[in-house]
């Protein structure tokens, strides 16, 4: 037997062993990039053991808008380098200074004085953007019956906490093209309104509103109304004309921009977020906001991730590539979708979403039920994954929906 034939037989045997292991759910060795390519050539993604970063082999976790590439290598290295200091409190303001520089904000954190509370500034750290959103609800709902205005469907974090505290939420439906209707939201403001919430890009639709539209709302709204702009997915936006609301938050007295390291930077598990706003807004929030909520690992990981331009670039490129794949597959199946500027996509299954989700889960593929979470009958929201995970999802979805297509 020639060496060429020997190598070909070895490759075929390797593929068969891999596919057999995948089909039976047995553990297999971690594949090298070359072996992953071989497995891809051997068959559809659903016939392989998918190895997503941070999940068990064979699980396709595309329900929570997590970064399929994992964390920045620089962030991981920084955490490992600081593990020997885990027994010490981390009091550095280095990350706040790095964020000020990153956003072009003229601010240098003052050293903390012993025995004195931390002073508010234009940047307020949080244990993920969720902490900031809840702090906004606690801070600006001053009495029972106070109102806020929000789009529907949207992420809904401030809205849920607002209602928990006996506030009133005025929901404004999205436009027919699934965007925030800022004119209608402005019209929904009453003397009792305390907050207007904008998620941009919006979750779950992935649509955006322009900077000019947000600025017009800010200019027209009463000055006592806080305009909260949640920018969790801003780094994924493809639109060249898009502009963040950070400049408004840094210069106006009634705007707050909320950011997170959970998405583009892949640090969801360590919970790091922050807000940019006038110091008086943060001063009020600090009555409810635990300012030491981000620990050593989160701080050093976030600061290192901020210096890693390559990882966000790769993450965005992957998201764009996978979204184009989703679009092509949906069009091939005749499924409506909403073109997304985030790291996820909303897909109309044209049938109840819950049974489809259950069938996908039987194949260890997990997506978000938009019907249950946002009342979007027949819709599902799917995060971008790796190309292999995306292929696995679409292959399984096509088989599940094929009788109805």
Q: Tens digits of per-residue pLDDT, 72-88? A: 999 999 999 999 999 99
Contact assessment for residue 387 and residue 69, using Cβ atoms and an 8 Å cutoff = no
Give the pLDDT of residue 405: 57
Give the pLDDT of residue 291: 86
CA–CA dist 276, 80 (Å, integer): 29
Whole-angstrom CA distances from 370 to 95, 180, 209, 296, 341 are 36, 18, 21, 35, 17
pTM: 0.85
Positive or negative, the Cα torsion across 123, 160, 228, 373? positive
CA–CA dist 56, 217 (Å, integer): 45
Peptide bond between residue 201 and the one before it cis (omega within 30 degrees of 0): yes
CA angle 136, 295, 233 (to 5 degrees): 50
Phi, psi of 171 (to 5 degrees): -90, 135
Q: Does 116 or 380 have the greater pLDDT score?
A: 380
pLDDT score of 263 more than 80: yes
Give the pLDDT of residue 53: 79
CATH class of the domain whose range is 73-306: alpha beta
Q: Average pLDDT for residues 127-156, to the nearest whole number?
A: 96
Mean pLDDT of the chain: 88
Q: Could you tell me the residue ranges of all domains in the chain?
A: 14-71+310-401, 73-306
Contact assessment for residue 224 and residue 281, using Cβ atoms and an 8 Å cutoff = no
CA–CA dist 106, 92 (Å, integer): 19
Q: Which of 21-30, 45-54, 257-266 has the lowest mean pLDDT?
A: 21-30
Give the pLDDT of residue 80: 94
Q: Average pLDDT for residues 166-174, to the nearest whole number?
A: 98
pLDDT score of 4 more than 50: no
Going by pLDDT thresholds of 50, 70 and 90, the confidence category of residue 404 is low
CA angle 264, 269, 272 (to 5 degrees): 65
Peptide bond between residue 100 and the one before it cis (omega within 30 degrees of 0): no
Q: Are strands 193-199 and 344-348 parallel, antiparallel or unpaired?
A: unpaired
360-375 confidence digits (pLDDT tens): 999 999 999 999 999 9
Chain-centroid distance, C-alpha 352 = 25
pLDDT score of 54 more than 90: no
Q: Does 91 or 153 have the greater pLDDT score?
A: 153
Helices 387-401, 310-333: inter-axial angle, 10-degree rounding: 20
CATH number, span 14-71+310-401: 3.90.1150.10
Task: For residue 246, give the H/E element and its range.
Answer: helix 246-251
């Amino acid at each position: 037997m020639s060496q060429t034939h020997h190598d070909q037989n070895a490759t075929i045997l390797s593929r068969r062993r891999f596919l057999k292991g995948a089909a039976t759910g047995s553990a297999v060795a971690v594949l090298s990039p070359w072996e992953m390519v071989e497995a891809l050539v051997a068959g559809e993604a659903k016939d392989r053991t998918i190895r997503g970063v941070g999940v068990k082999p064979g699980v396709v976790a595309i329900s929570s808008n997590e970064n399929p590439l994992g964390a920045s290598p620089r962030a991981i290295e920084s955490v490992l380098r600081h593990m020997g200091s885990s027994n010490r409190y981390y009091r550095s303001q280095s990350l706040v200074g790095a964020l000020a520089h990153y956003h072009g904000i003229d601010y240098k954190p003052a050293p903390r004085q012993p025995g004195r509370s931390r002073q508010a500034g234009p940047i307020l750290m949080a244990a993920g953007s969720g902490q900031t959103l809840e702090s906004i609800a606690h801070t600006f709902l001053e009495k029972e019956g106070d109102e806020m205005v929000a789009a529907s469907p949207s992420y809904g974090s401030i809205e849920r906490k607002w209602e928990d505290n006996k506030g009133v939420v005025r929901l404004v439906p999205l436009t027919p093209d699934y965007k925030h209707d800022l004119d209608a939201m402005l019209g929904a403001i009453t003397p009792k309104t305390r907050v207007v919430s904008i998620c941009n890009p919006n979750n779950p639709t992935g649509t955006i509103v322009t900077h000019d539209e947000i600025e017009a709302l800010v200019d027209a709204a009463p000055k006592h109304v806080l305009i909260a702009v949640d920018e969790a997915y801003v780094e994924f936006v493809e639109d060249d004309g898009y502009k963040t609301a950070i400049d408004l938050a840094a210069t106006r007295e009634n705007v707050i921009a909320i950011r997170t390291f959970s998405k583009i930077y892949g640090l969801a598990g360590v919970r790091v977020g922050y807000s940019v706003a006038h110091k008086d807004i943060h001063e009020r929030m600090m009555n409810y906001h635990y300012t030491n909520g981000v620990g050593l690992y989160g701080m050093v990981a976030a600061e290192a991730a901020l210096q890693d331009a390559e990882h966000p670039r790769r993450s965005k490129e992957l998201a764009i590539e996978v979204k184009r794949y989703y679009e092509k597959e949906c069009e091939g199946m005749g499924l409506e979708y909403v073109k997304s500027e985030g790291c996820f996509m909303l897909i109309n299954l044209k049938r109840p979403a819950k049974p489809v989700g259950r069938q996908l889960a039987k194949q260890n593929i997990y997506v978000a039920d938009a019907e249950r979470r946002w009342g979007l009958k027949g819709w599902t929201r799917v995060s971008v994954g790796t190309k292999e995970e995306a292929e696995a999802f679409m292959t399984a979805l096509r088989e599940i929906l094929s009788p109805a297509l």
